[in-house]
Amino acid sequence: MTAPARPDRSFTRALRHIRPADLKAAAQLAAQATHGVIDLTESVHQSVRRRLGLSAGASTERTGGLTGQVYQAVRGVARLVGWGTDAALATLLPLLDDPATHPEASPQREAVLAAFNGVLGDRLQAMGNPLAQAMALRVNGQPLTLSRDALKAQLPNAGPHLLLLIHGLCMNDTQWRRNGHDHGASLAPALGATPVYLRYNTGLHTSVNGRDLALLLERLVAAWPVPLERIMVIGHSMGGLVARSAVATGRGLGQGWPGLVQDLVFLGTPQHGAPLERAGHGADWLLASNPFTAPFARLGKIRSAGITDLRHGHVQDADWQGRDRFASGADHRQPLPLPDGVRCFAVAATLAGQRSRVAERLTGDGLVPLDSALGRHDDPALRLEVPRERQRTVFRTGHLDLLSSPVVAEQLKDWLAGPGARA
């Protein structure tokens, strides 16, 4: 008699990073994916029939007659399976997923969730999916409770200077530590500041995250254990756009916290967008231009609002509201200058060497071109005026390497804690 096969060790290790509650989220996504495949198949069916000159009915995506009834029947079965799975999990999960059993999530699981939210975060939130990440201010990987007594307990050494760090697309607050270095932990002693990290759903519109952050910071300032005197913000990649959006929103709402912001640092922030997202929009257009491939263009439209905001660097609601974000590749942004009275700094990276002047302009850090990271633009209305002495370009450095570069770390310390820094 053959002994049962043992589970693969890699599979067993992977299970350690999955919570029972993830099953419900996965089942919901699987059900939606099944319906998407059915819709895509029927749409291709229609495209082929029209191309061959056969009757395809009035709808461009739905078949009629007996064929249409078959597709509807398949959808009905998929719905029944989904409802049955939801009902079963609703009964079992309260028995299996005790939060006390899972006090901390593994870094691997957190990284996967962050990437998942970056790609599908807006859909996850709209579905009410448990994998959608809520915005939170965190320290040492733990969320802060925004009441004065709770913050005193969580931050016993909190001082009057706050250093806020905002991560980029598909990342989370724990990923500021890279190759053993964390800009927040490194700068805190030199600045006499308390570092606090933001975690947010990077798949949402940048302006939505900016508005949520503005509201959150107003609560944080009110609950801070001692009177706050200074706020310094460092945003990596998309985080810089969220910071700009939050300051503009906070000022527009008449909030108090923006008046405490003295320094705003952008690390590889795509102020004017990133070429990869513009290439993605071009791929959508190419697929849509052919009747046989047009149904597959919807696959490109799965990507999140946060990603499409990076096409040109959206930071305000007016940049995207009232428009189909997949319909046009034109830049519809409303100009938003850097905030008055705030010292703004920009760090850009390039994979090229210091002597490759043409190459550095073209390559950038692999994701963000130099001009975009430094706020330069041909249109004066969109140009961000960062003083040259507050710009720094680092060479042979990639986008993520900005988080661990010793050169960047020293530059941040010079800017924020040097003789020119405000007290």
The token pair that represents 202 in the structure block = 């990077």
Cα–Cα distance measured from residue 331 to residue 311, given in angstroms and rounded to the nearest whole number? 8
Q: What is the mean pLDDT of residues 358-381?
A: 83
Pick the residue with more confidence: 94 or 402? 402
- Model pTM score: 0.77
For position 5, what pLDDT does the model report?
54
Least confident segment among 18-32, 137-151, 217-231, 295-309: 18-32
Q: What Cα–Cα distance (Å) separates residue 414 from each residue in 128, 188, 243, 400?
A: 45, 13, 21, 21
The token pair that represents 126 in the structure block = 């709209």
For position 82, what pLDDT does the model report?
44
pLDDT of 56 strictly over 70: no
The sign of the torsion formed by the CA atoms of 321, 325, 330, 331 equals: positive
Do 335 and 312 touch, CB atoms closer than 8 A?
no
For position 296, what pLDDT does the model report?
41
Which band of pLDDT confidence, cut at 50, 70 and 90, is reported for residue 202? very high
Cα–Cα distance measured from residue 149 to residue 324, given in angstroms and rounded to the nearest whole number? 46
Listed residue (384, 388, 406, 387) closest to 397, CA to CA: 406
* Four-point Cα dihedral 363, 366, 368, 371, nearest 10: -20
Least confident segment among 97-111, 200-214, 275-289, 341-355: 275-289
Residues facing residue 94 across a β-bridge: none
Do 282 and 329 touch, CB atoms closer than 8 A?
yes
Do 395 and 359 touch, CB atoms closer than 8 A?
no
pLDDT digits (tens, 9 = 90+) for 291-334: 444 444 444 566 789 988 998 999 999 999 988 877 777 888 99
Q: Which residues contact 353 (CB under 8 A, 6 or more apart)?
A: 359, 395, 396
Cα–Cα distance measured from residue 394 to residue 137, given in angstroms and rounded to the nearest whole number? 30
Q: What is the mean pLDDT of the chain?
A: 79
Pick the residue with more confidence: 284 or 236? 236
Residues facing residue 232 across a β-bridge: 163, 263
Using DSSP's 3-state secondary structure scheme, residue 259 falls into helix
Using DSSP's 3-state secondary structure scheme, residue 347 falls into strand
Which band of pLDDT confidence, cut at 50, 70 and 90, is reported for residue 352? confident
Least confident segment among 101-105, 216-220, 238-242: 101-105
Residues facing residue 347 across a β-bridge: 267, 392
Listed residue (208, 214, 140, 146) closest to 174, CA to CA: 140
